[in-house]
Amino acid sequence: MDLDLQKVLENIRQADTDDLIDRITAYRAGMEIDAIDMIEQELHRRRVRQSEIDDYRAECVRECLFNADGAAKMCSLCRKPAVEERWAWHRIMGTVPIMPRRMRFCKTHLAS
């Protein structure tokens, strides 16, 4: 796979810090080495301490659901790592339930 490092860097710089921490912890297994290095450098530039990243990684290992490749499963409603999978209603425009299906939920959407 050809990786356009300039586009990757632009994407990293535009991402919020929480998203970058998710990428470097929960989704790390599915990432290119160059992208991992770039995210780590950006988090360092933003003054995110390594201990914060390590704590979040440990939390992910305890709470998140993972694919066979080692990357966390993603919430069905957002980009956060999923902590639970269960049957729920698939809804049109978020309101009209049309059919039940298996869905994954992050902490935020599990609570709502």
Rounded to whole angstroms, how far apart are CA atoms 102 and 100?
A: 7
Tell me how far the alpha carbon of residue 3 is from its chain's centroid.
20
52 contact partners, CB below 8 Å, separation of at least 6: 21
Kindly report which listed range (14-18, 30-34, 44-48, 60-64) carries the lowest average pLDDT score: 30-34
Tokens coding 44: 């360092």
Say if residue 112's pLDDT is above 80: no
4 contact partners, CB below 8 Å, separation of at least 6: none
* Entry pTM: 0.85
Rounded to whole angstroms, how far apart are CA atoms 51 and 8?
A: 25
CA 31, 26, 66, 58 torsion: positive or negative?
positive
What is the reported pLDDT for 94? 78
Tokens coding 87: 């049957």
| Residue 97 near residue 103 (C-beta atoms within 8 A) | no
Rounded to whole angstroms, how far apart are CA atoms 87 and 95?
A: 16
Q: Which pLDDT tens digit goes with each residue over 64-100?
A: 999 999 999 999 999 999 999 999 998 888 788 999 9
